[in-house]
Structure 1
Amino acid sequence: MSWVYEQFICAFLVGCTFLSVLSHPDKAPKYTFLREAASAPQILTYDYIVIGGGTCGCPLAATLSQGATVLVLERGGSPYTNPEQININNFVNSLADISPSSFSQPFISRDGVLNSRARALGGGSVLNAGFYSRASSKYIVDSGWNETLAKDSYQWVEKKVAFEPPMLQWQSAVKDGLLEVGVLPYNGFTFDHLYGTKVGGTIFDKEGNRHTAADLLEYADPKRISVYLHATVQKILFKYNTEKRRQQAYGVIFKDALGVMHRAYLSTKGKSEIILSAGAIGSPQLLMLSGIGPANHLQAHGIKVVLDQPLVGQGMADNPLNVLLVPSPVPVEVSLVQTVGITKFGSFIEAASGLSLGHSWSERLQGIFEFVSNQSGQPSMFPPVADTIRSLANPILKGGVLLEKIIGPRSTGHLELINTNPNDNPSVTFNYFKDPEDLRKCVEGMRTIIDVINSKAFSKFRYHNMPVQSLIDLMLHLPVNLRPKHANAAFSLEQYCIDTVLTIWHYHGGCQSGKVVDHNYKVIGVEALRVIDGSTFHRSPGTNPQATVMMLGRYMGEKIIKKRFFHGRK
């Protein structure tokens, strides 16, 4: 590629980012520090290098910039380039977009379940269903977090991105149905995690516009932070620290959209660090690509071993999701998760409505499965589209879904490299329902959903000549995953849970605290490297993790910058 052409493309990319923000001045913050990686110098030096501008990375970087220079390297684009794409009405379409520039990077776990990794500034908060709910007090204590600082950190996040949802007819009927079937007490609108039924927060405002973790960069000091988009980190660099007698991180290599390599180094002043915040898939993957992981596995891929750490990639888990699609005889609002039933037996009941679930959806889903199967080299096992699926084109079947996910989960799996390309997905196994306790909770959750559908409060939104058994049969004919379907699934809720399991995108693990990182999120066995994100979790917090992941970024940013300030004054 000629130098002139490279400069033209660079200017075009930078211009697109700038113009996209100007074209939506009422919806997008005017970040002077947001740039395309193609415009970056060949060599950069900062106090902190944050790998991943996601749900945790954005609040972390914003906080660190209050007392140090911070570089954020984000492999995806900006959610501000097309606000309509992340509007609530485009939730399904955004997830289903498989173009190279999309915010969603689909992958199929070895369990045969379609999942998605975020590829955007703001991370998973750009793609998710928007529910905002804190972790329980017990979770915070068990995690070793300071309760006061955790509460302050949640509130810091909530000032920018959390709202009270409108609670229209469908969501209200689900709420009343939960109360009718005994998911008590009613706790009203609250961010807190409490047994019973409640209305939680949402990151969608009253116009349906999504507010993501990228909005938390409004807190950043613009003179001390640089955020580069389409900056894919290839590996972390290490050198031997003779004083500590161990390897020490000192920089990273990243590639821009033109394929040009850049290097970023830590400054030599103060307690400078590299902080990996690439998510539950990206963080263990990048540790392995940088030489930290199971030695035999790394050597098999030709990777030089920096630290033999067999626990990297272990403890991978995803909260299993099971649903019933409920066609409605009356119009329903467009809504994502707003109300939740937090049961004492370990299942959470939620709902969504008004989303496009017609024939085009089923064909698009089939297309995604085929696309990802071909990319990963997995054999295509996609079942043929049945007549019952094609009947979903009937507009009278517009309705919603009732869903349940289990607490935890107890079942875990692992992550392995397929190749050494950081742009490609690794191999991930979640082992859904391997632990029988997880299956028991799913069955109880499905029974609760069935009771809500049959409740008086919900009667307006279901066809009375369509029993729940028909809804179960319908789900068993939908191409929801690549798992085999068994004849007894129509009559066994245990088999139904196993056969129709989906993801709710709450995957975690791979760099767990106490195993890969210590209680301060420092990678055990090396210097100047931390992992701060959901990959450190042993179980998913609360009903939905995004609030806690954002909180963790603020929480650890505060702890790190205060210690840096104290160290500098000694």
Structure 2
Amino acid sequence: MTKAPEFDFIIVGAGSAGCVLADRLTECGRFTVQVIEAGGSDQKFFIKMPMGYGLTFSDARVNWKYQVEPDPGLGNRIGYWPRGKVIGGSSSINAMAYMRGLPHDFDDWAKAGATGWDWKTVQETYDALETVVEADGTSRGSGPVVVSDLKNAMSPFSRHFLDAARDLNWPVLGDLNGSAPAGQNQHPNEGMGYMRATVRNGRRWSAADAFLRPATKRHNLSVVSGARVERILTQGKLATGVRYHVNGEMRETSARREVILSAGAIDSPKLLMLSGIGPAADLRTHGIAVTLDQPQVGRGLQDHLAVSHYYWANEATLNSILGRRTGQLRAGVQYLLTRGGPLSVPVNQVSGYLRTSGASFPDVQVYCNPATYATLPDGAPRVDRDNGFLLCVQPCRPTSRGWIKLRSADPTDAPRIQPNSLSTLEDQQTAVAASHLLQRLAQSPTMRQVTRARRDPDILGMDDDVLLENFRQRAGTVFHASCTCRMGVGPDVSVTDNRLRVHGIGRLRVIDASAFPNVTSGNTNAPTMMLAARAARMVIEDNAGCPAAA
């Protein structure tokens, strides 16, 4: 076995969080850092082209392609959970939606024991991270994360979704991450608008682009790709390094200061358990020696579920371009020559947070896409030739909790994932209430005017019982797995403390979406990068290093 040099910090995973940490922990020059990533290069055309994520959705070269256990709440269906296996992690294969989340999400984090993670505090970190590029090309902020308003390049059909919102007296916002318009009686961010995306000059702007690539120019960063970490090395109750497999050989690296897991909500708890840190009875079942009985590792899993309904349109949508070979060719040439056109914009174009009847806060996220499409059995996308659009609703703050467990002691085996969807009465009621919002949107005057036909199943004729069953049979993940190593006040209810340190094991942290105390209301890429930026400052403070940049 070849023993690699020692580093101050070892970061497992070059995803959204790991890239941020690599940048922040190396920028002062006083620490040496090694990043170990299972995937390979992100320098691929269909990663960088914004519309290309449909082709990475099932590409095993860049995607873990996880499957979950039969889910009782969803009719025992087996869901597909893609996760990035590439430099940049899921920020290299996601839909590029940039949604901070709602203020009460983070106030609830603080109430759950993540002291110092309230909205007022995290808002400052968001502001420091972002450069916001408006549709007219002007910008504000000077952070590394480029957040672009792409409405001028979006499908003309998308304007109808906002007109439909106006029909229903739903607020229409210029920036879904902004505040409520002055004088309106609404919560911040409540309303519909064009989605902003992590796209820069017509190309995906991943965490690798924003953070890792600049950091690789520094002498104190080492990045190892194509390497699978198999366990955390410990002495007593201290993390001392990691063991990983790369290029056909096993290697070990020692950490002088800390080991940081940023492998994501699925693989961070998996790696803890493979290392003997987790529920003791489960570990012994697989013959794993128990380093620390930590019952909450892998527990508390949360995700967002959404149900979509499809409609044929009487106006041109993206189907007329992307669903036909000639249209694809024209769009491809346009993109190659100009980095513009329909391939330069994600398909998710209009979204927003809304309140169901009686809700105190916005509790549903709506998605409206100017296209209809499906995934073939081999994972390839199929865009309908005929013009269509979809309307989608997602309950924002589910209360159901699932789990992740080991399948075996073999590091190459995917873990078992059980979401336990719709396992609470509250989630079932919210699913029905969200479906009523979709019914209202579909029946708005504008949507009726542009709808040529409603496709089966038709949500408009469904009562509450049928709406719930429809949700069970058709809803699926929105790919926001989180909370499996959540922050909290102690090991009985959480895995990490409010500074992301694993309870009971020194010099070990988990910094990624698994540390969320509860899932945020919207897309999770933005809060994951925010969490990593704040956590990096804590790591530096706790190691008596230089001040962090943000």
TM-score by length of 2: 0.79
Are 2:520 and 1:541 aligned? yes
* Alpha-carbon distance change, 41 to 553 in structure 1, aligned in 2, over 3 angstroms: farther
Alpha-carbon distance change, 496 to 128 in structure 1, aligned in 2, over 3 angstroms: same
In structure 2, which of residues 190, 199, 208 is the aligned counterpart of residue 214 of structure 1? 208
Residue type of the alignment partner of 2:50:
I
Report the secondary structure of 1:173's partner residue: helix
**Aligned residue among 187, 192, 197 for 1:197:** 192
Distance 1:162 1:285 in 2: 32
CA distance in 2 between partners of 1:151 and 1:70 (Å): 28
Task: Answer yes or no: is the 8 Å Cα contact 2:308–2:391 preserved in 1.
Answer: yes
Q: 1:539 to 1:564 in 2, by over 3 A?
A: same
CA contact (8 A) 1:149 1:555 kept: no
Q: Counterpart of 2:385?
A: 395
How far 1:179 sits from its partner (Å)? 2.8
Judging changes above 3 Å, is the alpha-carbon distance between structure 1 residues 454 and 115 closer, same or farther for their aligned structure 2 residues?
same
- Which residue of 1 is the match for residue 284 of structure 2? 299
Give matches, 1:472-511, under 5 Å.
472=459, 492-511=466-485
Within the candidate set 90, 97, 103, 1:137 is matched to 103
Quote the residue 2:50 is aligned against. 88
In structure 2, C-alpha distance between the alignment counterparts of 1:295 and 1:421, rounded to whole Å: 17
CA distance in 2, matches of 1:429, 1:549: 22
Identity %: 27
Distance between the aligned counterparts of 1:249 and 1:491, measured in 2? 51
Displacement of 1:318 in angstroms is: 1.4
Post-superposition Cα deviations, 1:179-228, rounded to whole Å, max 9, x if no partner, equal: 32233x22212424612223342113453x21111112245261111111
Please give the alpha-carbon distance, in whole angstroms, between the structure 1 residues aligned to 2:263 and 2:364: 28
Contact kept, 8 Å, 1:115 with 1:503, in 2: the verdict is: yes
Distance in 1 (alpha carbons) for counterparts of 2:383 and 2:84: 29
Instruction: Report the secondary structure of 2:149's partner residue.
Output: coil
Partner residue in 1 for 2:351: 340
The answer to whether the 8 A contact 1:508-1:537 is kept is yes
- 3-state SS, counterpart of residue 57 of structure 2: helix
Paired residue secondary structure (1:132)? coil
Question: Do the aligned partners of 1:95 and 1:127 also contact (CA within 8 Å) in 2?
Answer: yes
User: Does structure 1 residue 236 correspond to structure 2 residue 217?
Assistant: no
User: In 2, Cα distance between the equivalents of 1:179 and 1:439?
Assistant: 28
RMSD, aligned CA: 2.7
- Cα 1:138/1:45, change in 2 over 3 Å: same
- Change in Cα spacing, 1:565 to 1:423, as seen in structure 2 (3 Å) is same
Q: In the TM superposition, what is the alpha-carbon distance from 1:561 to its structure 2 partner?
A: 1.5
For 2:306 and 2:33, the matched residues in 1 are separated by: 37
1:77 aligns with 2:40: yes
Counterpart selection for 1:253 from 217, 222, 243: 243
Structure 1 residue 45: Cα displacement:
1.0
Is residue 97–residue 198 contact of structure 2 (8 Å, CA) maintained in 1? yes
Compute the displacement of 1:565 (Å).
3.2
Residue 321 (structure 1) shift: 1.3
Deviation, 1:324, is 0.7
> Residues 362 and 47 of structure 1: is their aligned pair in 2 closer, same or farther, counting only changes over 3 Å?
same
2:197 & 2:56 partners in 1: Cα distance? 18
Q: 1:239 to 1:148 in 2, by over 3 A?
A: same
Aligned counterparts of 2:103 and 2:225: Cα–Cα separation in 1: 36
Q: CA deviation at 1:546?
A: 0.8
Instruction: Summarize the Cα distance change of 1:277–1:223 in structure 2 as closer, same or farther, 3 Å threshold.
Output: same
Q: CA deviation at 1:86?
A: 4.3
Q: Deviations over 1:317-356 (max 9, x none)?
A: 2111111122333321354223323112311111223364
String of CA shifts for 1:209-253, please: whole Å, max 9, x gaps. Answer: 21111112245261111111111100000002xxxxxx1000100
CA distance in 2, matches of 1:283, 1:409: 22
Contact 1:42 1:263 in 2 (8 A): yes
Query: Does the CA-based 8 Å contact 2:268-2:510 persist in structure 1?
Result: yes
Which residue pairs with 2:82 in the alignment? 116
Q: Is it true that 1:279 corresponds to 2:242 in the alignment?
A: no
Secondary structure at 1:325 match in 2: strand
DSSP 3-state at the match of 2:536: helix
Q: How far apart in 2 are the matches of 1:566 and 1:161?
A: 28
Segments of 5+ residues of structure 2 without an aligned counterpart are 72-77, 110-114, 132-144, 179-187, 319-341, 357-362, 489-493
Superposition pairs for residues 165-564 of structure 1, below 5 Å? 165-166=150-151, 167-183=154-170, 185-192=171-178, 194-205=189-200, 207=202, 209-215=203-209, 216-220=211-215, 222-240=218-236, 247-256=237-246, 258-267=247-256, 272-333=257-318, 335-345=346-356, 346-354=363-371, 356-357=373-374, 361-365=375-379, 395-396=385-386, 398-459=387-448, 461-463=450-452, 466-467=453-454, 470-472=457-459, 492-514=466-488, 515-564=494-543
What's the CA shift string for 1:371-400, capped at 9, x where partnerless? xxxxxxxxxxxxxxxxxxxxx98622x423
Displacement of 1:139 in angstroms is 2.4
Match of 1:150 among 122, 125, 128: 122
* Structure 1 residue 472: Cα displacement: 4.8
Tell me how far apart the structure 1 counterparts of residues 69 and 198 of structure 2 sit (CA, whole Å): 28
For 2:208, the aligned partner's letter is A
Q: In proportion to residue count, which structure has more helix?
A: 1
Q: Judging changes above 3 Å, is the alpha-carbon distance between structure 1 residues 567 and 172 closer, same or farther for their aligned structure 2 residues? A: closer
Q: 1:146 to 1:434 in 2, by over 3 A?
A: closer
Separation in 1, partners of 2:432, 2:201: 35
TM-superposed CA distance for 1:470, in Å, is 4.8
Deviation at 1:549, TM superposition (A): 0.3
Distance 1:176-1:57 versus aligned 2 partners, 3 A rule: same
- Report if aligned partners of 1:337, 1:352 keep a CA contact under 8 Å in 2: yes
Residue 50 (1) aligns with residue 11 (2): yes
AA partner of residue 546 (structure 1): N
Deviations 1:248-293 (A, max 9, x none): 000100111x3211111012xxxx1101111110011000000001
